[in-house]
Amino acid sequence: MMRTFLMLSALALATPLAAQDAPVTAVPQSEAEQSRLRQVGAEVLFWSQEQRDANFPNMEKVFPVHVVEASATPRPLPPGAPLPIDAAALDAFIAEQNIAGLIVVQDGKVRLERYARGYGPEGRWTSFSVAKSFTSTLLGAAIADGYIDSVDEPVTKYIPELAGSAYDGVSIAQLLTMTSGARWNEDYTDPNSDVARMFLEPVPAGEDPTVYFMRRLEREAEPGSKWVYKTGETNLIGVLVRNATGKSLAEYLSEKVWQPYGMETDAVWMVDPSGNEVSGCCLSVSLRDYARFGQFILEGAPGAVPDGWVADATRAHATVRPGGFGYGYQWWTYPEGRYGAQGIFGQTITIDAESRTVVAISGAWPRASDPALWAERAAFVDRLIDAADAE
């Protein structure tokens, strides 16, 4: 089964990488092309290292996307004092973690910036689930703009197609914190898991593929009583924001963050077969703009979200494991008051409010997720923040 899966993936990717040189902004019209893209989307988890290195900085050459337009006046990221970190240890960390880009920004100044694996400051790198934190910020913006009244409202008010499903009685806050009680399998090694199958099936005409899949889930716990990581629920947040605002997520992200805060590079956001952004995943952003987004959140997302939103979003609403590891509104919370965004294959933004430091890392791990790689990543990021805080 797995060998066949990988062979299909290799065949499916052979043409797009050679044939496309610019972002694709239209959804493919033929069912055959949509079927091929659904298959490739499911197979991303099982790409070879060669495919990861080729595709992670070029996802717009593989999938259709929407463009998030950058600012005409980019926010400066001036150089700061070089971070006092051992060069050999840094080189070893970059090599061992298959890192493509690493940046440390403190007080809005760049104290460390490194690139590898053919990546550079002019490029973009896929976010995977780091996008979840962007999506939750857009929900906060929709509340600030009056499109949504409160996180205490029921999800079915904005996605009525979920009525009669496991999402009856689930609040927006429970969707944000992944405590809906719906049963879900996020196993990245299993091609039959929910996360792998979500966009694999054809969807009846006129139906949203996320809603079509998610409304068939069963309930395993009372809403609010159990935390389970579910990419599909972030995709529902995206549907909710689109329904409430009447805008695409790419358009709204440009309006609320990219242009007013001064992002310097257009981002691209992968779209599903219906032409809507895959909001639990798959933004492609430059390394410096990942750092700017971290700085934007560190500053409280000025002008975009309600007062107190960032503080509430980045505190633990659910416990993930002992020792200070929790989950907020699509943000992970860590010991020592730190918080961040995480994506498979080694994508992270880590924020330390006390030292006013942001660390953004893009990578291409050999596996989607690995406890040893996460532990090594966390330890070295702590080391970078401690070095920044020491001066």
Place of tokens 């080391």: 383
Q: How far apart, in Å, are the Cα atoms of 131 and each of 6, 34, 38, 161, 268?
A: 26, 23, 20, 24, 11
* Element at 241 (helix H, strand E): helix 231-245
Q: Closest Cα to residue 313, out of 211, 195, 210, 172?
A: 172
Positions of E strands within 170-248: none
Spatial distance between the Cα atoms of 67 and 259, rounded to a whole number of angstroms: 13
Residues 144-167: what's their mean pLDDT? Answer: 98
Give residue 35's pLDDT.
54
Average pLDDT over residues 303-327: 96
The alpha carbon of 99 is separated from its chain's Cα centroid by a whole number of angstroms, namely 17
Of the pLDDT bands very low, low, confident and very high (cuts 50, 70, 90), residue 15 is very low
The residue with greater pLDDT, 391 or 332, is 332
Write the DSSP symbol of residue 292.
H
DSSP single-letter state for residue 44: G
Query: What confidence category does residue 106 fall into, taking pLDDT thresholds of 50, 70 and 90?
Result: very high
State the Cα–Cα distance between residues 250 and 147, nearest whole angstrom: 17
pLDDT band at 7 (very low <50, low <70, confident <90, very high): very low
What's the rounded mean pLDDT across residues 195-205? 79
**346: Cβ–Cβ under 8 A, 6 or more apart, which residues?**
97, 98, 99, 361, 362, 363, 364, 365, 373, 377
* Residue of 341, 335, 223, 219 lying closest to 290 (CA atoms): 341
**What pLDDT is recorded for position 40?**
55
Please write the tens of the pLDDT for every residue from 264-287: 999 999 998 889 999 999 999 999
What number of other Cβ atoms are within 10 A of residue 342's Cβ? 19
CATH number of the domain at 2-75+104-389, please?
A: 3.40.710.10
Nearest to 253 by CA among 388, 140, 368, 367: 140
Task: State the chain's maximal CA–CA distance in angstroms.
Answer: 59
Average pLDDT of the residues in 363-376: 95
Structure tokens of 355? Answer: 């030292």
Please answer whether residues 318 and 326 qualify as being in contact, where contact means their C-beta atoms are separated by less than 8 angstroms. Answer: yes
CB neighbours (10 Å) of residue 136? 27
Prediction pTM value: 0.90
How far apart, in whole angstroms, are the C-alpha atoms of residue 291 and residue 270?
21
